[in-house]
A and B are shown apart, each in its own frame.
Chain A
């Protein structure tokens, strides 16, 4: 069966473009037409961009010259918190509905230099706060596999766009699982790089010690391709790391996969646990080894995260004050200008997290909450470092359940629990990937689930290796 052009992966499209089976224009049109047709239903994009004729022609020439990078001419979707010069970047907030990016994010610039095309900016939870896109100020995005269900979040517009074949791949950002959880809920590959591996310059910040941009793709090969283009030291982000920051461990062809069984005893749907065990059993029959690992503090990772992240978010969001850009409501005094702009601009979840962050940083509580959480973070990392003495990667299910229905997690704590297995990688800075591990059935609909691997700091490439073993790809 021949695939439609918009159904291709990046690597497949790059091959077809080089073989002159189709043109950059035809590939763009296939995605743009699909996006126009399906977006009213899915709300995956907050804006679809007009075709950039000059960029399309330049990409075509570059491919014909035989010297184009693989991303050249590939239509990508960009999460709405990643700046593209001259385009609105609203982070799905009313606060920034009129904000036009004054510069390219470093990741945008790198993709652009390789000839990638941007098809639109994708829906998300406001300021990346959420796991369902239900917190978007512009209405939720829908899961293309079952539109009564969420596409995950916060990068849910990106996952919906790629899963519905409206773009070949997308960028997301991940603060506590916001790339990996939507990937799991839509049957995609989602990867969060090592903290500092990819520049954060030009991302609208949520938690600055946690945030990383990364790929949402149809294959592990595509995720690797995008990661390789985006990574690298950036003078505009002092937290980016030079090559060789972390010691490389030698890893053989056969991997040792750590499984923290003590964390997987309850709270996971039976059929999700079954897919997880089947996937691990298959890897074991292929000669890889399963190792029991112990991560005793991991049970506290989510409480730690819900101290650190709101603390950083409340500090980061203090910049939105209605003075220099964004929503600017006016009152009788400067203080009233701030109050009116922030109250009108921020949604409920954003205000909830700003208040929580203000609380954990307030004098009297900072020691009990913020400082304790910060210390626990180091302990978490030390435990992972110790576990990696005996294994190469650590495996979890990405989420305890498949995609849930809209409105099912209306109380905040139940929504926060979506990230129980993903937040630790952000707290430790370690790279992590979610790869499809098979489907489960809910209400007669077959829904994807994801297996999650964490690797040691700097061992991002190992994730592509284990991911490709699960998806049966040859990289």
Chain B
């Protein structure tokens, strides 16, 4: 992996996956920087790890009962104030189903 070269197409595809636009001017810079970062991170290639690398003794999932909810409306005002577009206490969003 350390000899991998990032291409313009790779960075465009990653940008599309990450939901950002990268303009042409930035693209060549990102490609060059990506190469140097991946070369650096590629040092991991040399590293040989023991078979069972994962230590599960302390880290574990913590779940709780779904109980004691906030009283409905406690935070509504503060949260609704942050909505970019709203109708009453509802968040307005674009229609996502079209008929074409």
Contacts and interface: CB of A to CB of B under 8 A. Distances in A.
Nearest to A337: B94
Nearest to B96: A334
A340 B23 CA distance: 12
Interface string B45-62: 001011001110010001
Contacts of B47: 297, 300, 372, 376
A42 to B, nearest CB: 30
A359 B58 CA distance: 29
Given A239-B62, A342-B20, A303 B40 contact: yes
Contacts, number: 136
A413 B21 contact: no
Interface string A371-395: 0111110110110000000000000
A378 B44 contact: no
B96 A356 contact: no
A25 interface: no
Contacts of A100: 78, 81-82
Given A323-B91, A362-B14, A102 B43 contact: no
A85 B79 CA distance: 12
B6 to A, nearest CB: 8
A334 B94 contact: yes
Contact of B40 (A306, A352, A358): A306
A460 interface: no
A344 B43 CA distance: 34
Nearest to A331: B94
Contacts of B55: 378, 381-382
A323 B84 CA distance: 7
Contact of B36 (A362, A369, A413): A413
A365 B1 contact: yes
B26 interface: yes
- Main SS of the interface on chain B? loop
A343 to B, nearest CB: 4
A297 B49 CA distance: 10
A460 to B, nearest CB: 16
Contacts of B21: 339-340, 343
A131 to B, nearest CB: 15
A440 interface: no
Interface string B78-98: 110111110000010110100
B85 A328 contact: yes
A246 B96 CA distance: 50
A342 B49 CA distance: 38
Contacts of A324: 82-84, 91
Most buried by B among A300, A303, A355, A382: A355
A413 B37 contact: yes
B18 A355 contact: yes
Contacts of B53: 374-376, 378-379
Contacts of A302: 40
Contact of A368 (B1, B14, B54): B1
A40 interface: no
Contact of A372 (B11, B40, B49, B84): B49
Nearest to B98: A333
Given A102-B82, A323-B91, A306 B37 contact: yes
Interface in A318-362: 318, 321-326, 328, 333-335, 337-340, 342-343, 346, 348, 351-352, 354-356, 358-360, 362
Nearest to B95: A334
B46 to A, nearest CB: 8
A306 B43 CA distance: 11
Contacts of B11: 355
A412 B49 contact: no
Most buried by A among B19, B64, B96: B19
B17 A362 contact: yes
A151 B14 CA distance: 33
Given A239-B62, A314-B18, A379 B50 contact: yes
A376 B49 contact: yes
A347 to B, nearest CB: 11
Contact of A238 (B18, B62, B79): B62
B20 A373 contact: no
Contact of B37 (A246, A356, A373): A356
A245 B60 CA distance: 12
A369 B78 contact: no
Given A411-B36, A412-B37, A354 B30 contact: no
A328 B62 contact: no
Contacts of A372: 44, 47, 49
Contact of B14 (A318, A328, A335, A358): A358
Contacts of A369: 1, 41, 44
A307 interface: yes
Contacts of A368: 1
Given A303-B44, A307-B41, 4 more contacts: A302-B40, A306-B37, A376-B44, A379-B49
7 contacts: A102-B79, A303-B44, A314-B18, A340-B21, A346-B20, A376-B44, A413-B36
Interface of B: 1, 10-11, 14-15, 17-22, 26, 30, 33-34, 36-37, 40-44, 47, 49-50, 53-55, 58, 62-64, 75, 78-79, 81-85, 91, 93-94, 96
